[in-house]
Each structure stands twice: as structure tokens, then as C-alpha cells.
Amino acid sequence: MNSVAKPRRWEAFFWPAIAAAVLLAVWHYSVVLTGTKIFPSPTNVKTGVIELLHKNVLWADIGDSLRRVAVGFGAAVLVGIPVGLWLGWSAKANQVVNPTLQILRPISPIAWIPVAIIFFGVGDRAAIFLIFLASFFPIVLACVSGVSSVSPVLRSAGCNFGLSSTQLLRRVIFPAALPQILVGVRVALGIAWLVVVAAEMIAVDSGLGYLVIDSRNSGKRYDLVVAAMLMIGIIGLVLDFSVRRVERIKSVRWGFRNAS
């Protein structure tokens, strides 16, 4: 059976650029043909971005959003991975904790906004708490699933070489579970970026989410609304690409080879 041909390097950039150009053309002519005075054209949005840059607003809002995500998501990684490894390693602990996790996991992070405001007030801490909460559960569940799916052969091999439980977990189980853990981290980062935008619309007075709602409320500046939306999408793409690059690091590939 013939293997699927890999796309050439130039195709990885050419076809996405063509798709983006087609989308911009459809957007532009849709605005022109409908004659709408409300929804902005790509040119209007570009002008809005330039305006935000001249006012030194855009970079400040991007920085605030990224800072909140970095703190909340970083805390979720630091706490969620050890907790997930422990639950995946200890069947008894998982049996006790898993029901509570399954009750809390389906609750939308947005539903926690009133509770976050009660606990932390309106400000950064409420937004960071929501980001942590949204990121924590996908990371924990990915770790539990990753550890549980490690081949018994690898466990037996580690034991035969005289590894202690800690060494087995650190040198065998964790690398073998890493592919699923990274999938959970990618999912959690995407959710964190979604949640920070929603939280900034309600709980804080800066960031890209706040820029969206403030532009809507202050003069119905939909050019700035769409500009902020595009920046949210672009930054989300960059964040996802960054995590995917981690998967290609040589020291990470051990787990991927064993997962294949």
C-alpha cells in the first residue's frame, strides 16, 4: 500500500495563505454587496487596528490577557500534572477522587464567574481562578488516562531493572504517558484562552475580552470589536502551535515512539 505523500514545505504556507485571501475577499465583497453600515470591512478593521496601536491600547490588552493565562494555566499545569499522575498511579486514590472530579468537570467555567467574583472580587484574581479551573480538569484527566494506558510490559521491564516506584513513575510511566498529557495540555490551553476572553468581559477592565465588550458599548465600534476578535484568534493559533512544537523536541519523542 502506498504511503500518503507529505505536503512540500512551500505548500504548508501557500495554501493557508490562499484560504485566508479567499476568506478576506468573501468578507470584503459581502460587506460591499449588502451595503451594511454596521459590520466593518477588512479595510475598516485594519484602520481600527492602526488606531489601537497608535493609542498604545492593543499591546497593553494583549499583554494583560497573556499574563492572566500564563499565571492561571501555569498553576493548573504545576498542580494538575502531579495530581493526575498520582490518581493514575494509585487506583485507590482514583476511586475516591474520581467521582468528585466527574461532578465538577462538566460545570462550565463561565458558570463559576459569580462564585469567583464572590471569592476574589472584580479583578485579576477572579479571572486567573477561572482560567486555573478551566485548565485543571483536562490536564488531570489526560494524565490519568495516559498513566492508565501505559503498557504493562514497560512497567514490568522497569521493575525487573530494580527501579523504585518513584523512579518507575519518573523514568518510565511519565515519558510513556507524555503524548496523552500533551494532548490534555493543548486542550487546556485552548480552553484557558477562551475563558480569559469571557472572564475579561465581566470580571476585569483590561484585556482583549474587555476590549471587545468596551468597543461594543462605547460608540458601537464594531471595527475594533472585529479587530480584537481577530487578535484573539491569531494568538490562539500561535499558542497552539507553540505546544505542538514542544511535541517535536527530541527528549519528548520517547513517549511518542512508545505510544505508536
> For the chain, what is the radius of gyration of the CA atoms?
23
- Other C-beta atoms closer than 10 Å to the C-beta of 166 total 8
Structural domain contains residue 236: yes
For residue 10, the SS3 value is: helix
Structural domain contains residue 70: yes
Does the pLDDT at position 131 exceed 70? yes
Overall average pLDDT of the 123-132 stretch: 90
- pTM value? 0.82
| Identity of the residue numbered 73 | F
Structural domain contains residue 233: yes
Structural domain contains residue 5: no
- Position 250 confidence tier, pLDDT thresholds 50, 70, 90: low
Give the domain range for residue 206.
Answer: 40-259
Does the pLDDT at position 169 exceed 80? no
Report which of 232, 211, 231, 172 is spatially closest to residue 55, judged by C-alpha positions: 211
> In this predicted model, what pLDDT tens digit does every residue of 210-228 receive, in sequence order?
888 888 887 788 888 888 8
What share of residues in the chain are helix, strand, coil (percent, to 5)?
80, 0, 20
**Domain count of the chain?**
1
Residue that wins the pLDDT comparison between 256 and 78: 78
Overall average pLDDT of the 248-254 stretch: 60
Beta strands in the chain (DSSP E): none
- Other C-beta atoms closer than 10 Å to the C-beta of 209 total 26
Structural domain contains residue 102: yes
Does the pLDDT at position 136 exceed 80? yes
Angle between helices 113-120 and 124-148 (to 10 degrees): 120
CA distance 191 to 134: 6
CATH number for position 113: 1.10.3720.10
Overall average pLDDT of the 106-117 stretch: 88
CA distance 170 to 89: 11
Structural domain contains residue 112: yes
Structural domain contains residue 99: yes
> In this predicted model, what pLDDT tens digit does every residue of 52-107 receive, in sequence order?
888 888 888 899 999 999 999 999 999 999 999 989 888 888 888 888 888 988 88
Set of cell numbers at residue 14: 501557500
